Each structure stands twice: as C-alpha cells, then as structure tokens.
A and B are shown apart, each in its own frame.
Chain A
C-alpha cells in the first residue's frame, strides 16, 4: 500500500508580468497562436499583431461558465446541470491611451481613425462592429524561455474609452475584452485557448 502524491508545486504559481497583444491571427483547427522565441507573437504568422502597452495594475483573465440546474421534486439538490452561459474575457487598466490604434480598438463599432495633416484623429459614429483576436502572454516560472498564453479568438471591448485626468494620476482606461463565439469553428474550440509551452 502507498499514499498518493501531493500536488504542491510553487512553480505552477503564476506571479509575473504579462503582455497583452491584440489583432492576432486566428489559429486554425487544432493549432495555437504562434510565438517567436522571445515570447512575442511571431511577426510573420501574426502580421497585424499589436501590443497594448503598459497597464496600471497588470492584466486579468476570466473564463466563467454559468449553469442551468435541474431539480426534481424527489431530491432537494439539483440532479443535473448544463451550460447556460459563457463569459470569457481579458481585462486590464491600459495607460497608453494616446495610442490611437489602441483607442480605436477600444471602441468597436463606434470609432474611426483618420490622419488629417499634422494630427491623429478619431471620430465617433456608427459603423460595423469588428472583433479582435487578443491574448495575454507570460514567461513561465520554471523556464523563462517558455511561455504561457491565454488567447480569445474573437473579442470586443465592453468598457469603452474612459479616463480621468489629473496631475497626480495616470489617465488609465479600464478595458474588458469580452469573448464571442466563432460558431463556424469546432464546437469545443469556439472561444479561445489557454496553453503553456513545456
């Protein structure tokens, strides 16, 4: 007889800065986001990739299904559940809000960028909503040449562009890129992926 191995492993604790990248290429069936050896998106495989810059307090990810529960009169506890909703998101407080590519990305369906002489400009009005493929990428604790990624294939910011100005604070914009399904993909791979290099 023997005991069972415990799962203590501090190297599986993530405590590092992460980078947020948007406008990534969508991977095909069974594939993943392609990284270069330095952990940034491979520039050729992700020709439109955009780094979202500094954050005020790091980044966060969320995958949160909600469930419908089914009960019968004969049991006080539910006897079955199915998935009734799905929330998947990447959030942060972005501080480089004079980046107009970023500002346009934060306002899907609303902002249009132009470049009048000597200026950068956004106009606000209605247009088709576009989505972005976005990921958080971080170096692994066990080996800084290996990386982890949390990738949402099709997302749009829910928080708009809101910032406060003041002499003693940074005008950061809280953002939350909420994932939407790509219904024409395989059922188990319609929202995104979380993976680590080993």
Chain B
C-alpha cells in the first residue's frame, strides 16, 4: 500500500499537488478509521463514509459493509472495526470498498 511519504515523492516532493488517495481528503487528512501513517482502513464510520463517498453512497456503503462483514445492522450506525476480518467476510468487504474507491 502506498504511504503518504511515497505519495509525496511520486509527485515531486513538497509543494507539488498530491494525487487523491483512498481514505484521505483532498487536503490529505485521513478519514475516521484510516491510519494516517499507513493508509490502512481499520474502521468504517457512518459519518466518515458519508464524508468520503458522499451522503447517499456513503450510507449505502456503510450498510453493505455491515452486512457483508457480519457486523449486523444496529440502530445509530456504530463504528465498524475492519481489523481481524477473515475469510469470506473479509473478501466481501474488501471488494465493496475497492469498488467504492474506484468510483
């Protein structure tokens, strides 16, 4: 996975525009649940998903991940920890997130 420092180098260092990275805002700030150093998405929050992917898509993405990852659906849309997911749930969640990040 590309790190923040890699991204800087790839665009010519300080001052150059950075390419948009999944999990980070245009200003380079990590969304909630995204490790700012490694870019690893360790959790998905309802509000964070809406900020990153837009209100409608973010909400749909959150609920899709909640079901695919076996979290279940809970009132109030609690944070979902993506750490430790394994096997089929992990594959499904990764696919959902990868598709969303492409768009």
Contacts and interface: CB of A to CB of B under 8 A. Distances in A.
B73 interface: yes
B10 interface: no
A48 to B, nearest CB: 5
B79 interface: yes
A131 B79 contact: no
B4 to A, nearest CB: 14
A96 interface: no
Nearest to A30: B86
Contact of B84 (A23, A30, A44, A131): A30
Interface in A8-34: 23-34
Interface in B26-85: 32-36, 40, 42-43, 45, 48, 67, 69-76, 78-85
A29 B85 contact: yes
Contact of A30 (B40, B48, B70, B82): B70
A129 interface: yes
Instruction: Bin chain A's interface residue count.
Output: 20 to 34
Contacts of A132: 78
A29 B34 CA distance: 20
Nearest to A181: B72
Max count, chain A CB within 10 A of own CB: residue among B36, B42, B89: B42
A44 B42 contact: yes
A44 B41 CA distance: 8
Contact of A130 (B67, B70, B75): B75
Interface of B: 32-36, 40, 42-43, 45, 48, 67, 69-76, 78-87, 89-90, 93
17 contacts: A25-B43, A26-B81, A29-B85, A34-B84, A45-B33, A45-B83, A46-B43, A47-B79, A48-B32, A128-B75, A128-B76, A131-B75, A131-B76, A133-B78, A182-B71, A184-B72, A186-B70
Given A46-B79, A182-B72, 8 more contacts: A24-B81, A26-B72, A27-B81, A28-B85, A34-B42, A44-B33, A45-B43, A128-B75
